[in-house]
Chain A
Amino acid sequence: MRFGTRWPPVPAGILIGISMLLAFVVAGRGIGASGAMTRLVAWVQHGLFPVATEQSAYFGKYFADGAHPLNDYVVFLLVGLLIGAFVAAWLSGELRVEVLRGPNITTRNRLLLAMLGGILTGFAARLARGCTSGQGLVGGAELSVGAWTFLLCIFAGGWMAAWFVRKQWI
């Protein structure tokens, strides 16, 4: 049985679950994507404003005791994530530079909305202490009350806002 490029959802989800389980078994923690990006921000900002960043109430902890913010588990995971997605797309012949959008929106507006959505999720992921993977999937598997609340609220928020941006997608 060959799955082709787009696998049926259950086996695809199981493979994501297996990567999470491997992290539990090997590292005693879950997977995640947003933490590495916060560390990237801390690192770049530290290059520009070292003193202010080290004294920052939020970013300061990444530099405690001379630590390097990028020398962390989540950053190594992120490198793997990039390689894994690249290899999968390459083997499937799906490596293409393009802008994905619905039929009724211009490329420029799509990119503007991508930026806006990115800013909102970036802020929200920090407030919720993780993103869909690091908080939602991992916390979901750990049966965390906070994570399941987060997941439900993601779909509630998405459905509330869906009507306003429908032209972008359908």
Chain B
Amino acid sequence: MDIAAPFAKTGLISAATNLWLAIPIGIIFGYALFHAGFTDSRRIAWAFYFKDVGVPVVMFSAIVTGMIGLWGLSLAGLIDISLVYMLPTYLVPMAVGGVLFGIGMVIGGYCPGTAIAAVATGKLDGVVFIGGFLIGSMVFGDFFPVWGDFYNSDYMGAFRLDQLMGIGLGSTVLLMVIIAVVGTISMIFVQDLVWGEKNTLKTSRPFMKLQGALVALAIVIGTVFAFFPTESFIDDTVETPFYIVPKADMTGTTP
């Protein structure tokens, strides 16, 4: 008992303090987005032509960091995972949304977070993109009755990949690390194949060594995770009140 994190949910900090602390968290996010090169629409769009695969590599690295951190803190008993909001799955609407989103991204050159960061650095195409984004959001909201049923369809609760595959959560973490590493290497291979090694952005040798060490560290941590059963990460036998939606495999009811 007495797990401190998440601070806002355990009552360690007030709701107001939590709001104010969102600003420094956002600052780190924006700072990192700029240095990732994500304020440049061309670099984002080039990912879809395999001309610069930095975008998916950054995304893989961010996901692996968040994944290892979240489940690692849970394993260490430092965060009460049942108090962390788990995103629910609405499979088909999310798949359709993803395809539309991808089309919009290659046409517009941004996604929302990167466009906001681009606006802050003076990119006018980012300003126009945000204008369009607001219009798109407004259309969705104002005509909601038209697609509301579809939006709420195919609900599966907070449904995780380890539940889908029927393997342990730790093994799933390791598998995702491996997918990230193999995905990165194969995308760099395709990049060189399509564009020729001379025409693609190269990372200098010391940086490659650093990145190699970080990737190796992620693989080691993932391997350690794979030895732990799911129950040591998350107590799946208890239905927690905070889940806004019931977990998929736990209840026979639908909302």
State the A residues within 8 Å of B (CB). 1, 3, 5-34, 37-38, 40-42, 45, 56-59, 71, 73-74, 76-89, 92, 94-102, 110-111, 113-133, 135-162, 165-166, 168-170
Please name all residues of chain B whose beta carbon is closer than 8 Å to the beta carbon of A71 when the two chains form the complex. 19
Please name all residues of chain B whose beta carbon is closer than 8 Å to the beta carbon of A148 when the two chains form the complex. 161
Residue ID in chain A nearest B159 by CB atoms: A145
B11 → chain A, closest Cβ, in Å?
11
State the B residues within 8 Å of A (CB). 5-9, 13, 18-37, 39-42, 45-49, 51, 54, 56-67, 69-70, 73, 79, 83-91, 93-126, 128-142, 144-145, 147-148, 151, 156, 158-164, 169, 172-173, 176, 203, 206-208, 210-211, 214-215
Q: How far is the CA of A125 from the CA of B120 in the complex (A)?
A: 21
B114 → chain A, closest Cβ, in Å?
8
Q: How far is the CA of A84 from the CA of B116 in the complex (A)?
A: 11
B3 → chain A, closest Cβ, in Å?
11
Q: How far is the CA of A11 from the CA of B26 in the complex (A)?
A: 17
Please name all residues of chain B whose beta carbon is closer than 8 Å to the beta carbon of A147 when the two chains form the complex. 87, 89, 94
A130 → chain B, closest Cβ, in Å?
7
Q: Are A8 and B30 in contact (CB under 8 A)?
A: no
Q: How far is the CA of A1 from the CA of B20 in the complex (A)?
A: 33
Q: How far is the CA of A60 from the CA of B140 in the complex (A)?
A: 13
Q: Are B29 and A117 in contact (CB under 8 A)?
A: no
Q: How far is the CA of A17 from the CA of B60 in the complex (A)?
A: 9
Q: Which 10 A-B pairs have the closest CB atoms?
A: A117-B108, A80-B26, A122-B136, A118-B132, A13-B61, A17-B65, A153-B98, A84-B30, A157-B102, A128-B97
- Tell which of B21, B33, B58, B133 touches A119, judged by Cβ atoms closer than 8 Å: B133
Q: How far is the CA of A44 from the CA of B87 in the complex (A)?
A: 27
Given the known interface contacts A10-B61, A27-B22, A114-B129, the answer about A145 and B66 at a Cβ–Cβ threshold of 8 Å is no
Q: Are B137 and A17 in contact (CB under 8 A)?
A: no
Q: Are A140 and B18 in contact (CB under 8 A)?
A: no
Q: Are B33 and A16 in contact (CB under 8 A)?
A: yes
Q: Are B139 and A119 in contact (CB under 8 A)?
A: yes
Please name all residues of chain A whose beta carbon is closer than 8 Å to the beta carbon of B18 when the two chains form the complex. 26-27, 73
Q: Are B121 and A117 in contact (CB under 8 A)?
A: no
- Tell which of A41, A96, A135 touches B134, judged by Cβ atoms closer than 8 Å: A41
Which of B37, B57, B65, B88 has the most CB atoms of chain A within a 10 A radius of its CB?
A: B65
Q: Are A127 and B97 in contact (CB under 8 A)?
A: yes
Please name all residues of chain A whose beta carbon is closer than 8 Å to the beta carbon of B110 when the two chains form the complex. 114, 117-118, 121
B43 → chain A, closest Cβ, in Å?
9
A-B contact pairs, 30 of them (CB 8 A): A7-B37, A12-B36, A13-B59, A15-B32, A23-B22, A24-B79, A25-B79, A28-B5, A28-B8, A34-B137, A58-B141, A58-B144, A81-B113, A81-B116, A84-B30, A88-B31, A94-B121, A100-B40, A127-B93, A127-B147, A129-B94, A137-B62, A141-B69, A145-B161, A149-B89, A154-B102, A156-B98, A158-B48, A159-B48, A169-B46
- Tell which of B28, B51, B215 touches A84, judged by Cβ atoms closer than 8 Å: B28
Residue ID in chain A nearest B34 by CB atoms: A88
Q: Are B102 and A155 in contact (CB under 8 A)?
A: yes
Q: How far is the CA of A160 from the CA of B99 in the complex (A)?
A: 9
- Tell which of A77, A98, A137 touches B22, judged by Cβ atoms closer than 8 Å: A77
Q: Are A9 and B54 in contact (CB under 8 A)?
A: yes
B177 → chain A, closest Cβ, in Å?
12
Please name all residues of chain B whose beta carbon is closer than 8 Å to the beta carbon of A114 when the two chains form the complex. 41, 108-110, 125-126, 128-129, 132
Given the known interface contacts A82-B119, A137-B62, the answer about A24 and B22 at a Cβ–Cβ threshold of 8 Å is no
Please name all residues of chain A whose beta carbon is closer than 8 Å to the beta carbon of B48 when the two chains form the complex. 155, 158-159, 161-162
Q: How far is the CA of A155 from the CA of B173 in the complex (A)?
A: 22
Q: How far is the CA of A118 from the CA of B119 in the complex (A)?
A: 13
Please name all residues of chain A whose beta carbon is closer than 8 Å to the beta carbon of B95 when the two chains form the complex. 149-150, 153
Q: Are A131 and B113 in contact (CB under 8 A)?
A: yes
B195 → chain A, closest Cβ, in Å?
10
